[in-house]
């Protein structure tokens, strides 16, 4: 049972105990759902409401109806159990760091880093005989195999 980092509680909102979470988690629609369970400081809480507000994910938790009841959660990290998320064939960015990167012409490399250069523009740093950057959202990514732990790419000429 693996805990997956979802985000951090940065503030409260209003007087009814709503929490602001800053999160870069890539599959928010699978995490921030009413009824899902999150973990904060090894204690499990149930999400009672969710909404998006600017860059924040806003939630309320079960049995907390007042701002004074949730102040102890400020600046805490939020996790969720892997089986609670139910990703199926989807792969998290942190899992990709264990994957190998194969080209269609037979080169083998290692994924060293995943980062974002702009909102929703993901890039892989891959070490072949030299390091190259591959846009993750591009047609160069042919297949991601969770079972074989590999990403197959078709690099353009000159890479």
Tens of pLDDT along the chain (159 residues)?
A: 689 999 999 999 999 999 999 998 888 998 999 999 999 999 999 999 999 999 999 999 998 999 999 999 999 999 999 888 888 778 888 889 879 999 988 889 999 998 888 766 889 999 998 999 999 878 889 999 888 999 999 988 877
State the pLDDT at residue 100: 93
Supply the pLDDT for residue 95: 86
Per-residue model confidence (pLDDT) at position 138: 80
| Domains of the chain and any CATH numbers | 3-85 (2.40.30.60), 93-153 (2.30.30.240)
pTM as predicted: 0.78
How many Å apart are CA 92 and CA 87, to the nearest integer? 9
Give me the sheet containing 121-127, strands edge to edge.
131-135, 121-127, 108-118, 100-103, 150-153, 141-145
| pLDDT recorded at residue 115 | 87
Q: Looking at residue 91, what is its pLDDT?
A: 86
What's the confidence (pLDDT) of residue 13?
A: 95
**What pLDDT was estimated at residue 15?**
93
């Amino acid at each position: 049972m693996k805990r997956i980092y979802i985000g951090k509680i940065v503030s409260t909102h209003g007087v009814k105990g709503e929490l602001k979470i800053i999160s870069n988690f890539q599959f928010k629609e699978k995490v921030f759902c009413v009824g899902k369970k999150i973990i904060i400081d090894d204690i499990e809480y149930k999400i009672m409401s969710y909404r998006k507000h600017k860059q924040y994910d806003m939630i309320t938790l079960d049995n907390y109806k007042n701002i004074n009841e949730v102040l102890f959660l400020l600046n805490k990290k939020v996790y969720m159990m892997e089986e609670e998320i139910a990703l199926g064939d989807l792969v998290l960015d942190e899992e990709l760091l264990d994957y190998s990167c194969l080209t269609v012409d037979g080169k083998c490399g290692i994924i060293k880093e995943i980062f974002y250069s702009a909102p929703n523009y993901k890039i892989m740093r891959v070490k072949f005989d030299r390091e190259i950057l591959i846009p993750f959202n591009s047609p160069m990514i042919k297949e991601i195999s969770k079972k074989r732990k590999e990403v197959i790419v078709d690099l353009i000429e000159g890479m």
